Amino acid sequence: MLLTGLVTISAFLLLGLGATRTSRGALYMTGGMLLILISASMHVSQFTGAWTTLGAVTTEIGIGSLLLAGLLRRSDADARPWFIIGAGALSIAVLMLAWQKLSVASVLEDGPDRPVVAMESWILELGPDDSIDEVAGTLERHGASWERAFPTVDLVEDIDLAQVYLVNVSASASGPLTNALISDVENVDHIELNFDVHLDTPSSSFHLRSASQGILEDDPLASKQWALEAINGHAVHRMIADAEPARKALVAILDTGVDANHEDVSQTFASSPATTDEHGHGSHCAGLAGAATNNGLGIASLNWEGRFMDIAGYRALNDQGFGSIEMISQAIIDATQDGADVISMSLGAKTETPKVIRDAIEFAMERNVIVVASAGNANEDAIDHMPSNVEGVIVVSAIDRDLNKARFSNTNTSLSRPITAPGVDILSLKTGGGYVTMSGTSMSTPVVSGIIGMMRALNPDISDEDVWKILEETSRPVRHSAQIGNLVDAEAAIQRVLDRL
């Protein structure tokens, strides 16, 4: 800002010289106008907030106008207008400074609900051969703190994720700091805001009707699960009732946590970090993916007698349904390192996927983890929804009981791996006990994740590419398949895996 101020004041001096000199006056005037344009450009490039920029501009105009008035007065020209402009601009600058001081003082007052300083969080990625020590001076000058974002990942495992740091800085210093880091092309590979995403779950109408007869499982609420009938889930139970998995598959639910003590998932819950769920969203998803089935309790999934899949919980979202991109990335990394076969993410936001999440998903896929994500609930194109817009992710939209596109569901056929599943009035676990219906692509996603988990349980060596090929080839067209993909068919997909054994 100091250099910009000197440029502005120099512009006024040149304008004054141009106005008071007969010789080369036009040249001085041209130089002054050019410096004003340069000053304006510098203010735009250094913008750190309207209040700060306006204060700097009024101060520069005030000082420059007074200097210009002095030059005019020495030449017996009328200097009074410039004295008035200069004095007025400086008065405004002083008032702005006083107001800013009072505002800061009021923020610093003690109060139970008043934050002391507004903070921002940033994701900083250094080059593979760079050290945080090389940018520590810049961070310290702006009052920032930092820590490694993913300490369990080393350079051998991933040269990008191993070099990611979480930087916290006051909002007022955020602009100058990020500008300085972006300019440090020698050490800094990437920087992005660690923003929050939040759940957006459509309301459910709670209309439960009994499914058709011929149900094998003894779960008392199975007949109320229209989704199982729609994906031919009951036929799967008859197919695998006497089958044995090659091993249990691990399906990771990246969400608000999972109520590990719920009666219908306690038998199938694997050791994992997020064993509680104050929100309820994650528990609902967990039941759809792998609730123990034919256990005489609650609902059914495809997980016959709990023998085929274990469910793991990772907290990508907090109790209020909010999660930062760092939290989501960390959950992906943790689930991958814990040996997940499938990662199920019923979350997202309307934006291009941040680099750190794309890197985390790539980290998972390179280790043969299948990533499934919800298309979103805004009735828009999922190409603008993250993380479903990452290449290689299986993107799940939602249909209603009539097999029509759910009114809220995003479309997904602009992406490479689109599929649809039931997502309206879906019955599953209620955190703390009991059962509840919910709607959204959040619900259709774990339905697909559960099918993939069954495929991996029967054939642990089946690849990500083969899983998608089978799902795509065995899925059934529905009325809006051109917008939301075909309906997943659990019976046909699992039969195809069994046929290949």
Backbone angles phi, psi at 345, to 5 degrees: -120, 105
Q: Which of 44, 73, 108 is the last residue of a domain?
A: 108
Q: What is the pTM of this model?
A: 0.77
- Residue 212 forms part of a structural domain: no
Last residue of a domain, one of 108, 134, 167: 108
Of 84, 491, 430, nearest in space to 264 by CA: 430
Q: Tell me, yes or no, whether 136 and 102 share the same domain.
A: no
Range of the domain at 130: 119-194
Please check whether residues 299 and 352 belong to one and the same domain. yes
Higher pLDDT, 166 or 41: 166
Q: Is 442 a catalytic residue?
A: yes
> Is residue 199 assigned to a domain?
no
Residue 419 falls inside a structural domain: yes
Between 19-23, 239-243, 476-480, the lowest mean confidence (pLDDT) is in 19-23
Domain for residue 269, yes or no? yes
Q: Does residue 200 lie within any of the structural domains?
A: no
Determine the average pLDDT of the residues in 12-24: 71
CATH code of the domain containing 440? 3.40.50.200
Task: Note the pLDDT tens digit of each residue in 323-344.
Answer: 999 999 999 999 999 999 999 9
What per-residue confidence (pLDDT) applies to 109? Answer: 44
Give 163's contacts (C-beta < 8 A, 6+ positions apart).
125, 126, 127, 128, 130, 155, 189
- Of 43, 190, 237, 281, the catalytic one is 281
* Same-domain pairing of 101 and 8: yes
| pLDDT value, residue 363 | 98
The answer to whether 404 touches 480, Cβ cutoff 8 Å, is yes
What average pLDDT does the structure give for the chain?
Answer: 89
Q: Are residues 302 and 431 in the same domain?
A: yes
Q: With bands split at pLDDT 50, 70 and 90, how would you rate the model's confidence at 80?
A: confident
Q: Taking residues 139-156, what's their average pLDDT?
A: 96
Q: Are residues 35 and 77 in the same domain?
A: yes
> Is 205 part of any domain?
no
Same domain, 348 and 437: yes
pLDDT of residue 204: 72
Same domain, yes or no, for 324 and 450?
Answer: yes
Whose tokens are 């009539």? That residue is 402
Query: Per the domain annotation, does 207 fall within a domain?
Result: no
Is residue 189 among the annotated active site residues? no
Among this protein's residues, is 160 annotated catalytic?
A: no
Q: Note whether 179 and 102 are same-domain residues.
A: no
Question: How many domains does the chain contain in total?
Answer: 3
Q: Do 190 and 151 share a structural domain?
A: yes
| Domain containing residue 169: CATH number | 3.30.70
d(CA 244, CA 406): 36
How confident is the model at residue 100, as a pLDDT?
53
Same domain, residue pair 449 and 315: yes
- Active-site residue (options: 158, 219, 255, 310): 255
Work out the average pLDDT over 375-384. Answer: 97
If asked whether residues 185 and 264 sit together in one domain, one would say no
Q: Is residue 418 pLDDT above 70, yes or no?
A: yes
- Is residue 214 a part of any domain in this protein? no
Quick one: 266 and 316 in the same domain?
Answer: yes
Closest residue by Cα to residue 385 from 164, 200, 253: 200
Domain final position from 60, 86, 108 = 108
Structure tokens at 309: 């899949």
Determine which one of 223, 428, 439, 442 is catalytic: 442
Q: Specify the pLDDT at position 106.
A: 43
Burial of 434 (0-12, 13-18, 19+ CB in 10 A): exposed
